[in-house]
Amino acid sequence: MAYENVLFEVEYGVGVLTFNRPKVLNALDAKTIAELGDVVARAETDRGVKALVLTGAGEKAFVAGADIAAMSTMSTVEARRFAETAHAILARMEALPIVTIAAVNGFALGGGCEVAMACDLVYASEKARFGQPEVNLGLIPGFGGTQRLTRRVGITRALEMILTGDMYDAPRAKEMGLALEVLPAAELLGFAKAQAKKIAAKAPIAVAVAKRAIREGADADVRTANELERQAFAALFGSEDTREGTKAFVEKRAASWKGA
Ligand code: CO8
């Protein structure tokens, strides 16, 4: 599929999706969301995509939110459909068995902040600004922000961020746990790709299972979550890669992963 609003390329196993509507600060309209969905679907099945990095085109923005012009004429039914589609795509992205990394190169506002939070790891450039400014538009977050932000930064900071609509700079976002690291703008994408490559070089099954245990466990009570971990840990002993990884250590050689 040829894309209009995103760029997508795979380099050494790392898929890089660039939101590419710089004239509107990479705002998300229905087409952009559909194209993100297509890339996520590809990452689900294409074993050549071993990690996914998301970033924004241009100097200013990762994604400055949902496309406000498009939303200004939306009916309730259309808004529901738009929100449902985006929710489903972000949930699918979160469930990918590979690592997903947001390289936040500028404004990550509204839907942009929500896309970043649906990634496993979030790295920010010094220019990044995070915010959920929907209250300024008479709106609330609609792509999962009320829930993902609360889980990332805690209920009180999420309340502050969503109720004030304020923007938080990169060091503040790091302090809150929203961004993991803050990097000079010129180094951000290279760093994100290097992290992606590092994780893609680990046993794919261990990465997938660890991610699932953490993500599914985070929404369960701790007894259920620990049982999920025990089951997943034991199940790995039926995989070739667990056998290979432990044998390779004992035999003092590098492991060779099969992804099985
Ligand atoms: N949608 C559409 N166009 C946008 C958006 C956007 N979110 N953000 C910026 N643009 C456009 C501007 O209109 C402008 O266009 P033009 O050149 O034609 O005037 C161009 O991008 C450049 O923007 P600015 O001139 O405003 O640039 P500044 O550097 O002065 O300001 C800001 C940058 C502060 C980022 C400013 O553009 C801004 O406040 N943007 C809006 C941010 C925002 O409110 N985002 C949240 C949107 S709501 C949302 O995301 C809800 C998600 C869930 C929806 C569920 C739907 C059902």
Mean pLDDT, 10 residues at a time, the chain of 260 residues = 94 97 97 98 97 97 97 96 97 98 98 98 98 98 98 97 98 98 98 98 97 96 98 97 97 94
The H-assigned helical ranges of 76-184 are: 76-94, 111-117, 145-153, 155-164, 170-176
Ligand 1 pocket test: pick from 5, 19, 23, 24 the residue with the most ligand atoms within 8 Å of its Cβ.
24
Question: Do residues 83 and 43 touch, judged by C-beta distance below 8 A?
Answer: no
CB 61 within 8 A of CB 106: yes
Q: What is the pLDDT of residue 207?
A: 97
Task: Check residue 90 and give its pLDDT.
Answer: 98
pLDDT reported for residue 2: 86
Q: Write out the two tokens for 119.
A: 């990634």
Calculate the alpha carbon distances from 220 to 215, 227, 229 in Å: 9, 10, 12
Give residue 259's pLDDT.
86
Residue among 9, 134, 216, 227 flagged as catalytic: 134
Q: Which amino acid is at 254?
A: A
Beta strands in the chain (DSSP E): 6-11, 14-19, 51-56, 61-63, 99-104, 107-109, 121-125, 129-131, 167-169, 181-183
Q: Report how far ligand 1's centroid is from the alpha carbon of 202 (Å).
A: 39
All domains in the chain, ordered by first residue: 6-200 (3.90.226.10), 204-250 (1.10.12.10)
Can you give the pTM of this predicted structure?
0.97
Nearest to 256 by CA among 201, 199, 200: 201
